[in-house]
Homo-oligomer: A and B are copies of this chain.
Amino acid sequence: MRTIEWSDGIVTTVDQTKLPQKEIILKIKTLDDMAEAIRNMRVRGAPLLGASAAYGLALTAFNSRVSNKDALIEELKSSGKTLKATRPTAVNLFWAIDRILKKIIDSSKNLDEIRYLVIQEAQKIADEDVKANRAIGKNGAELINDGDVILTHCNAGALATVDYGTALGVIRAAWEQGKKIEVIATETRPLLQGARLTIYELKRDGIPVKLITDSMVGFLIQKKMINKVVVGADRIVKDAIINKIGTFTLAVIAKEYNVPFYVAAPKSTFDLSKMSKEITIEERKQEEVTHFRSLPVAASGVEVFNPAFDITPYKYVSGIIHEEGVFFKKDFETFGIDTFTKKNNPEIV
Contacts and interface: CB of A to CB of B under 8 A. Distances in A.
Interface of A: 20-21, 184, 186-190, 192, 195-197, 199-200, 203, 209-220, 222, 245-246, 248-253, 256, 289-290, 292-293, 295-305, 307, 310-311
A212 B304 contact: yes
B293 A203 contact: no
Contacts of A302: 195, 199, 203, 209-211
- Of A219, A250, A256, the most chain B CB neighbours within 10 A belong to A219
Count identical subunits in the complex. 2
Contacts of A217: 249
Given A218-B310, A305-B220, A298 B249 contact: no
Given A187-B189, A302-B209, A245 B215 contact: yes
A130 to B, nearest CB: 24
Given A209-B302, A295-B292, A256 B245 contact: no
- Of A189, A249, A251, A300, the most chain B CB neighbours within 10 A belong to A249
A292 B270 CA distance: 37
A252 B215 CA distance: 12
A95 B245 CA distance: 40
A216 B298 contact: no
A310 B218 CA distance: 8
B249 A253 contact: yes
Nearest to A310: B219
Contacts of A21: 296
Given A292-B292, A310-B222, A215 B298 contact: no
Given A20-B298, A195-B297, A218-B252, 19 more contacts: A187-B298, A189-B215, A190-B213, A203-B299, A209-B302, A211-B303, A211-B304, A211-B305, A212-B289, A213-B245, A214-B246, A215-B246, A216-B305, A217-B249, A218-B246, A219-B311, A222-B311, A292-B297, A293-B295
B213 A289 contact: yes
Contacts of A297: 187, 192, 195-196, 292
Contacts of A216: 245-246, 305, 307, 310
Q: Which 7 A-B pairs have the closest CB atoms?
A: A215-B246, A218-B249, A195-B298, A199-B299, A189-B213, A200-B299, A214-B215
Contacts of A200: 299
